[in-house]
């Protein structure tokens, strides 16, 4: 994969990761960029029609009954059940738990490949936003490991997570964000010809 393609992956993965992982008040510049639609011409995944439709959706950062910060709280924090939990092991573990077997497998893979995302607290490494930021890091430092990271630890559940978020998210911005992440992941899978591990999905 050439340097330009790797740079595209790094930049887009970092933007997606920050938008999924951090609350809107922590990454106002990212939110402003995505809501403005100014990213469309520089985002090299998906058709112009798809991207313009997503940009229109993401421009709605606040509904009459819910701010974007409130939407983030509802979708990623709780206290009520999350419409689409962003952790891999919730989807891949029989008990739908955090820090499940798939999280431990990811942690072992990270240790074997000397990948450290410098978590500031004890939290699962398989949060979708963290994994997108890990894609950016791997694209920059160990690009030969990209297909393995995506095929073994993200794609087996990530597309289903994003589809559920589109179906249940009920926030124009985050539904649009999930559509953007979905078409980006599919483009990565196609361009790298990634073989995706077949894993049982236990979350419905």
Mind listing the pLDDT tens digit of every residue in the chain (204 residues)? 899 899 999 999 999 999 999 999 999 999 999 999 999 999 999 999 999 999 999 999 988 899 999 999 999 999 999 999 999 999 999 999 999 999 999 999 999 999 977 776 788 999 999 999 999 999 999 999 999 999 999 999 999 999 999 999 999 999 999 999 999 999 999 999 999 999 999 997
Q: State the pLDDT at residue 134.
A: 96
CA distances to 109, 159, 166, 188 from 178, rounded to whole Å, are: 26, 9, 6, 15
Q: State the pLDDT at residue 118.
A: 74
What are the boundaries of each domain within the chain? 1-190
CA distances to 89, 95, 196 from 127, rounded to whole Å, are: 9, 17, 19
Query: Which pTM was predicted?
Result: 0.96
Q: Is 174 exposed, middle or buried (0-12, 13-18, 19+ CB in 10 A)?
A: buried
Q: State the pLDDT at residue 62.
A: 85
Q: State the pLDDT at residue 157.
A: 98
Reference 50, options 63, 37, 32; nearest CA is 37
- Buried residues in 106-143 as b, exposed as e (16+ CB within 10 A): beebbeeeebeeeeeeeebbbbbbbbbbbbbbbbeeeb
Local structure of 115: helix, strand or coil:
coil
Give the up-direction half-sphere exposure of residue 121: CA atoms within 13 A in the CB hemisphere.
1
User: CATH code for 1-190?
Assistant: 1.10.3480.10
d(CA 108, CA 130): 16
């Amino acid at each position: 994969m050439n340097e330009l393609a790797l740079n595209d992956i790094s930049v887009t993965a970092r933007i997606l990761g920050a938008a999924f992982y951090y609350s809107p008040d922590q990454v106002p510049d990212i939110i402003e960029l995505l809501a403005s639609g100014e990213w469309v011409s520089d985002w090299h995944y998906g058709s112009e029609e798809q991207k313009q439709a997503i940009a229109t959706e993401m421009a709605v950062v606040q509904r009459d009954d819910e701010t974007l910060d409130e939407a983030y709280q509802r979708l990623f924090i709780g206290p009520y059940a999350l419409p689409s939990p962003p952790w891999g092991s919730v989807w891949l573990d029989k008990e739908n738990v955090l820090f499940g077997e798939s999280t431990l497998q990811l942690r072992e893979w990270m240790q074997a490949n000397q990948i450290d995302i410098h978590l500031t607290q004890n939290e699962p490494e398989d949060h979708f936003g963290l994994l997108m930021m890990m894609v950016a890091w791997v694209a920059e430092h160990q690009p030969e490991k990209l297909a393995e990271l995506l095929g073994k630890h993200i794609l087996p559940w990530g597309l289903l997570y994003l589809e559920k978020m589109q179906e249940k998210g009920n926030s124009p911005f985050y539904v649009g964000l999930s559509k953007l992440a979905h078409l980006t992941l599919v483009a990565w899978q196609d361009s790298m010809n990634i073989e995706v591990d077949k894993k049982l999905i236990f979350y419905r």
